[in-house]
């Protein structure tokens, strides 16, 4: 392998793709200690717990350690008694830490979440830029930059800033076949979300993303009042509450966390069954990274989003009002447009997503997104588009969708009469569509680029250069039909469950032996006993439940009902170390449940 031989490289691999193995393995094979630069303390702690459990000599160096603990870690590093050491970037960059590293034998530097170096990315961390000095100060130590999300622009920024110009790139597939993508029109987002959870995810762990703190609080409260165990998470809550909510989400079964984007990076919970967006993220990268927190165990999971015209207008406004340079704004608008394109496409979402990351998909239909499962009907909407665009023009390009639709339908509202828009030739020309259908049309005219939100007047829509072609009849406007209320996947869920299960087992080796979690074939008693045992053990050891065992491993035990250590050893997820530590307890549990 390239790194084992001492080379630098950039590794792009989706979450759940075994990214950490890329540095763990060469660290163990090479002389010395591997230094892992990671931005999040919570993540480090969990990864180190997992490694210690697997028998790897790993440690953390960060601000959560006492002086004594830190100096003991430093002594072990110098004595060559560590395989892997996790360090936060701000700590690594201190003169004291750099001196320490110079005196130790180092196997490599692994820079995790390398996209944090990108000023245009959504996770920019200024201290990451200074990591470029590693190349000068430690020229003989190989550097690996790793990220789970990066478009071409971010990739080249990582390469430049971390001085990896001549290094090869290793790019794994970004496809997450077990995740089902679904994007629906926003009507009443909160009740749409409740219906989605009630129909498909009762008792499941999930993450719901909202843009504002207020919306997070309201959404969490409304879910809780509907009997769904939901907790809020945002930067406005005090640190204790935040930590408690995060711990409950990680350690308990079936908790839904409602959060701003402040939540999730560094959360490595494998059994998140759904990620829901009530607001549009900023870009496809952000969408991919956030939805990527679902289904890390390789089992079926949903990425579900509601969106509407107001979302586009709001995101555009945030970009317009940001203090960034013009170049930054242009890049941001481009990224937003790409995401809106993904929302509006009538084709396969997965193909579109992979295409954005520069990955060609062999099959035009993935069979596991809303558009593949229930293809939307498209129609030639050129005539209605012309009516809408004329209406924008005749009313002076100063009004939002609501007013424009009133004029088109012929509603003599107070506002319409006040501006004498009932006198215009466009008044009432669009009575063939109702309010909801017109909203769908307006939104698509924005996403097709014929209309754009005005950066001066909030909510107002104005014509773009391409609108002229539509008005003159030179450009056709092909639109998708408004979807029926609620989920488009709902109708086909049953028929496709088998296919989905098959997809997911090919995605994660080992899970093929494991029955689907919905399969209640008499193992339920043993499985719940195993879960209770795991919760107790996790609490006792102060680690998340999945560090003890993943769900798939418990299910493997429940279905194979091993009687001996040898039988237990063949269950996926049980290594020698875990067998030694937990084997007797597990066998005892199996025996007592079976008898
Ligand atoms: Zn598809």
Let me know if residue 491 belongs to a domain.
no
Cα of 485 to ligand 1 centre, how many Å? 21
What pLDDT is attached to residue 509? 35
Percentage of the chain exceeding pLDDT 90: 40
Let me know if residue 391 belongs to a domain.
yes
Cα of 301 to ligand 1 centre, how many Å? 14
Lowest mean pLDDT among 94-98, 147-151, 267-271, 589-593: 147-151
Cα of 82 to ligand 1 centre, how many Å? 45
Q: Is the pLDDT of residue 538 over 70?
A: yes
Last residue of a domain, one of 353, 372, 391: 372
Cα of 265 to ligand 1 centre, how many Å? 26
Cα of 210 to ligand 1 centre, how many Å? 25
Average pLDDT over the chain, rounded to whole? Answer: 84
Cα of 254 to ligand 1 centre, how many Å? 28
Mean pLDDT of 80-106: 92
What pLDDT is attached to residue 576? 83
Task: Mark whether 362 and 474 lie in a shared domain.
Answer: no
Lowest mean pLDDT among 19-23, 126-130, 173-177, 424-428: 19-23
In which band, very low, low, confident or very high, does the pLDDT at 522 lie, cut at 50, 70 and 90?
low
Cα of 176 to ligand 1 centre, how many Å? 12
Task: Mark whether 382 and 367 lie in a shared domain.
Answer: no
In what helix (H) or strand (E) does residue 165 lie, and over which residues does it extend? Answer: none
Let me know if residue 563 belongs to a domain.
yes
Cα of 35 to ligand 1 centre, how many Å? 40
Cα of 16 to ligand 1 centre, how many Å? 20
What pLDDT is attached to residue 496? 41
Last residue of a domain, one of 372, 390, 414: 372
Q: Is the pLDDT of residue 503 over 80?
A: no
Count the helices and strands in the chain (H runs, E runs). Answer: 27, 17
Task: Mark whether 164 and 202 lie in a shared domain.
Answer: no
Are residues 368 and 502 in contact, defined by beta-carbon separation less than 8 angstroms? no
Q: Is the pLDDT of residue 486 over 70?
A: no
Q: Is the pLDDT of residue 105 over 50?
A: yes
Q: Is the pLDDT of residue 395 over 60?
A: yes
Cα of 32 to ligand 1 centre, how many Å? 46
Are residues 305 and 353 in contact, defined by beta-carbon separation less than 8 angstroms? no
Are residues 277 and 207 in contact, defined by beta-carbon separation less than 8 angstroms? no
Percentage of the chain exceeding pLDDT 70: 90
Task: Mark whether 325 and 401 lie in a shared domain.
Answer: no
Mean pLDDT of 298-322: 91
Cα of 350 to ligand 1 centre, how many Å? 5
Task: Mark whether 215 and 360 lie in a shared domain.
Answer: yes
Q: Is the pLDDT of residue 412 over 90?
A: yes
CATH of the domain at 129: 3.40.50.300
Let me know if residue 507 belongs to a domain.
no
Cα of 69 to ligand 1 centre, how many Å? 51
pLDDT tens for each residue of 187-196? 899 999 999 9
Cα of 177 to ligand 1 centre, how many Å? 10
Let me know if residue 500 belongs to a domain.
no
CATH of the domain at 582: 1.10.150.80
Which ranges constitute the DSSP H helices of 429-561?
435-447, 467-471, 493-507, 524-541, 545-548, 551-560
Mean pLDDT of 97-122: 87
Task: Mark whether 327 and 362 lie in a shared domain.
Answer: yes
Strand 205-209 and strand 256-259: the pairing is parallel
Task: Mark whether 110 and 188 lie in a shared domain.
Answer: no
Q: Is the pLDDT of residue 167 over 70?
A: yes
Count how many domains the chain has. 4
What pLDDT is attached to residue 512? 32
Task: Mark whether 240 and 336 lie in a shared domain.
Answer: yes
How far is the C-alpha of 235 from the C-alpha of 211, rounded, in Å?
Answer: 12
Sign (positive or negative) of CA dihedral 476, 464, 328, 340 = negative
Q: Is the pLDDT of residue 516 over 60?
A: no
What pLDDT is attached to residue 491? 42
Q: What is the DSSP letter of 419?
A: T
Task: Mark whether 135 and 23 lie in a shared domain.
Answer: yes
Cα of 509 to ligand 1 centre, how many Å? 23
Task: Mark whether 352 and 454 lie in a shared domain.
Answer: no
Cα of 138 to ligand 1 centre, how many Å? 46
Cα of 496 to ligand 1 centre, how many Å? 13
Mean pLDDT of 282-292: 90
Task: Mark whether 365 and 396 lie in a shared domain.
Answer: no
Mean pLDDT of 342-364: 86
Let me know if residue 489 belongs to a domain.
no
What pLDDT is attached to residue 547? 80
Mean pLDDT of 481-490: 55
Let me know if residue 508 belongs to a domain.
no
Q: Is the pLDDT of residue 498 over 70?
A: no
Cα of 564 to ligand 1 centre, how many Å? 44
Mean pLDDT of 249-262: 89
Cα of 494 to ligand 1 centre, how many Å? 17
Lowest mean pLDDT among 209-213, 292-296, 455-459, 466-470: 455-459
Mean pLDDT of 219-230: 95
Cα of 501 to ligand 1 centre, how many Å? 16
CATH of the domain at 436: 1.10.10.10
Q: Is the pLDDT of residue 1 over 60?
A: no
What pLDDT is attached to residue 321? 86
Cα of 209 to ligand 1 centre, how many Å? 23
Cα of 488 to ligand 1 centre, how many Å? 13
Last residue of a domain, one of 341, 372, 403: 372
Q: Is the pLDDT of residue 586 over 80?
A: yes
What pLDDT is attached to residue 518? 40
Full domain range(s) for residue 187? 179-372
Cα of 64 to ligand 1 centre, how many Å? 44
Provide the CB-side half-sphere exposure for 129 (13 A, CA).
9
Task: Mark whether 302 and 323 lie in a shared domain.
Answer: yes
How far is the C-alpha of 324 from the C-alpha of 88, rounded, in Å?
Answer: 27
Residue 176 C-alpha from the chain's centroid: 11
Name the CA dihedral angle for 4, 113, 280, 212, rounded to a multiple of 10 degrees.
160
Mean pLDDT of 134-152: 85
Cα of 553 to ligand 1 centre, how many Å? 30
Q: Is the pLDDT of residue 537 over 60?
A: yes
What pLDDT is attached to residue 594? 67
In which band, very low, low, confident or very high, does the pLDDT at 545 lie, cut at 50, 70 and 90?
confident
Cα of 371 to ligand 1 centre, how many Å? 6
What pLDDT is attached to residue 501? 40
Mean pLDDT of 207-220: 95
Let me know if residue 153 belongs to a domain.
yes
In which band, very low, low, confident or very high, does the pLDDT at 243 lie, cut at 50, 70 and 90?
confident
């Amino acid at each position: 392998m390239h790194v084992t031989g001492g080379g630098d490289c950039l590794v792009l691999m989706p979450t759940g793709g075994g990214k950490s193995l890329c540095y763990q393995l060469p660290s163990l094979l090479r002389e010395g200690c591997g230094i892992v630069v990671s931005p999040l303390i919570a993540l480090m702690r969990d990864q180190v717990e997992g490694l210690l459990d697997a028998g790897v000599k790993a440690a953390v160096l960060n601000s959560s350690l006492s002086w004594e603990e830190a100096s003991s870690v430093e002594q072990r590093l110098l004595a060559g008694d560590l395989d892997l050491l996790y360090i936060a970037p701000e700590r690594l960059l201190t003169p004291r830490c750099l001196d320490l590293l110079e005196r130790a034998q180092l196997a490599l530097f692994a820079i995790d979440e390398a996209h944090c170096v990108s000023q245009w990315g959504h996770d920019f961390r200024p201290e990451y830029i200074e990591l470029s000095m590693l190349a000068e100060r430690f020229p003989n130590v190989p550097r690996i930059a790793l990220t789970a999300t990066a478009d071409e622009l971010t990739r080249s920024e990582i390469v430049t800033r971390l001085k990896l110009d001549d290094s090869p790139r290793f790019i794994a597939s970004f496809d997450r076949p077990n995740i089902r993508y679904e994007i629906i029109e926003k009507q009443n987002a909160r009740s749409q979300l409740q219906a989605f959870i009630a129909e498909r995810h009762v008792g499941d762990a999930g993450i719901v993303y909202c843009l504002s703190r207020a919306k997070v609080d309201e959404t969490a409260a409304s879910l809780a009042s509907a009997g769904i165990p939901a907790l809020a998470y945002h930067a406005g809550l005090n640190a204790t509450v935040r930590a408690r909510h995060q711990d409950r989400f990680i350690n308990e079964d079936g908790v839904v966390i409602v959060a701003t984007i402040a939540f999730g990076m560094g959360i490595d919970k494998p059994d998140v069954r759904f990620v829901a967006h009530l607001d549009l993220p900023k870009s496809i990268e952000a969408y991919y990274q956030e939805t990527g927190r679902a289904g890390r165990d390789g089992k079926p999971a949903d990425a579900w989003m509601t969106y509407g015209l107001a979302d586009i207008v709001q995101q555009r406004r945030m970009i317009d009002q940001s203090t960034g340079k013009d170049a930054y704004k242009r890049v941001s608008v481009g990224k937003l447009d790409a995401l809106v394109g993904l929302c509006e496409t009538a084709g396969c979402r997965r193909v579109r997503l992979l295409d954005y990351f520069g990955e060609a998909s062999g099959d035009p239909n993935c069979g596991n997104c809303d558009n593949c499962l229930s293809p939307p009907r498209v129609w030639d909407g050129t005539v209605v588009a012309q009516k809408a665009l004329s209406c924008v023009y005749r009313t002076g390009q100063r009004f939002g969708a609501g007013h424009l639709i009133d004029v088109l339908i012929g509603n003599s509202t107070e506002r319409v009469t006040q501006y004498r828009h009932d006198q215009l030739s466009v008044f009432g020309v669009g009575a063939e569509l109702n309010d909801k259908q017109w909203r769908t049309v307006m939104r698509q005219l924005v996403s097709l680029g014929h209309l754009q939100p005005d950066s001066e007047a909030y909510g107002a829509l104005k014509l773009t250069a391409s609108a002229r072609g539509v008005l003159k009849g030179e450009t056709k406007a092909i639109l998708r039909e408004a979807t029926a209320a609620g989920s488009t996947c709902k109708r086909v869920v049953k028929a496709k469950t088998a296919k989905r299960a098959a997809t997911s087992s090919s995605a994660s080796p080992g899970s093929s032996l494991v029955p689907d979690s919905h399969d209640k074939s008499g193992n339920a008693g043993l499985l719940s006993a195993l879960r209770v045992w795991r919760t107790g053990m996790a609490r006792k050891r102060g680690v998340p439940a999945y560090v003890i065992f993943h769900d798939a491993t418990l299910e493997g035990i429940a279905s194979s009902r091993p009687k001996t250590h040898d039988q237990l050893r063949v269950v996926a997820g049980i290594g020698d170390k875990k067998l030694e530590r937990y084997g007797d307890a597990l066998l005892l549990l199996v025996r007592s449940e079976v008898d």
